[in-house]
Homo-oligomer: A and B are copies of this chain.
Amino acid sequence: MRQQADIPGTADQRREQMLRAALEVMAERGYPETRIADVAERAGTSPALVIYYFKTKDQLLTEAIRFAEDNWYATGTSRLARIATAAGRLEELVAMSCLPEADADPASSWVHWLDLWAQSARHPEVAGVRQKFDERWRETISSLVLEGQEAGEFGPVDPADFAVVLSALLDGLAVQIALGDTVVSPGRAFELSMRFVAKELGFDWTPADRKEHRAGR
């Protein structure tokens, strides 16, 4: 019978399989402690094959991070696109970074941010990924604000300033959530963020019962 990797084995599938495996291991062990052997085992192959696909360990890990960020952002924006009001989209955006998702995608785990930041401090390659990602994120926020202002939903604030502040706030809360801070639960983080957003942009918001439809994990 077919052993582990029965998949046709086309190169792209293999790569992705390895990237996912790498993300899983990274979430567990942290970026610098991730061993090629772990990734190989998780992907059901040998260390040699991992190196065969990604010339070096660093390349594997950097690519994995980029892969994760792109995925997260892509599913995020596609979800936003389905929401009618700017306020609703903003709420979804806040939820995305505060409330745990049910989909088990390891790529969306908060601890990845912590590793991403720590690695960015030393590795220019990773730093580039992060910078681009942050710019994209702030850009998303500020254009959302702009849309809301044009639609008359939001009051006048500087969209760029608001984007910097909100993204920083969400990052800071994400740290607490990622580390399981006893005081800052996801729900509380979400509510505090939304209170801030509503106050700053001048629209009404009351804690709805959105908690339930995203439990899990």
Digitize A115-137: 1 where CB-to-B-CB distance is under 8 Å, 0 elsewhere. Answer: 10111111000010011001100
B161 engages A168 (CB within 8 Å): no
A161 engages B114 (CB within 8 Å): no
Give the residue of B122, B165, B173, B179 whose beta carbon is less than 8 angstroms from that of A192.
Answer: B165
Q: Which residues in chain A, 108-167, are within 8 Å of chain B measured between CB atoms?
A: 111, 114-115, 117-122, 127, 130-131, 134-135, 138, 161, 164-165, 167
Complex alpha-carbon distance, A138 and B173, angstroms: 13
CB neighbours (8 Å) of A183 from chain B are: 135, 138, 164
CB neighbours (8 Å) of A196 from chain B are: 165
Q: Does A30 contact B (CB under 8 A)?
A: yes
Q: Does A32 contact B (CB under 8 A)?
A: yes
CB neighbours (8 Å) of A192 from chain B are: 161, 164-165
Q: Which residues in chain A, 4-38, are within 8 Å of chain B measured between CB atoms?
A: 28-33
Q: Does A78 contact B (CB under 8 A)?
A: no
B165 engages A122 (CB within 8 Å): no
Complex alpha-carbon distance, A199 and B179, angstroms: 29
Known: A165-B192, A168-B176, A179-B127. A117 touches B120 (CB 8 A): no
CB neighbours (8 Å) of A184 from chain B are: 164, 168
Give the residue of B111, B120, B167, B189 whose beta carbon is less than 8 angstroms from that of A179.
Answer: B120
CB neighbours (8 Å) of A122 from chain B are: 28-30, 33
Give the residue of B29, B32, B118, B169 whose beta carbon is less than 8 angstroms from that of A165.
Answer: B169
Complex alpha-carbon distance, A114 and B161, angstroms: 24
Given contacts A111-B118, A134-B176, 5 further A-B contacts (CB under 8 A): A114-B118, A117-B117, A117-B175, A131-B179, A169-B169
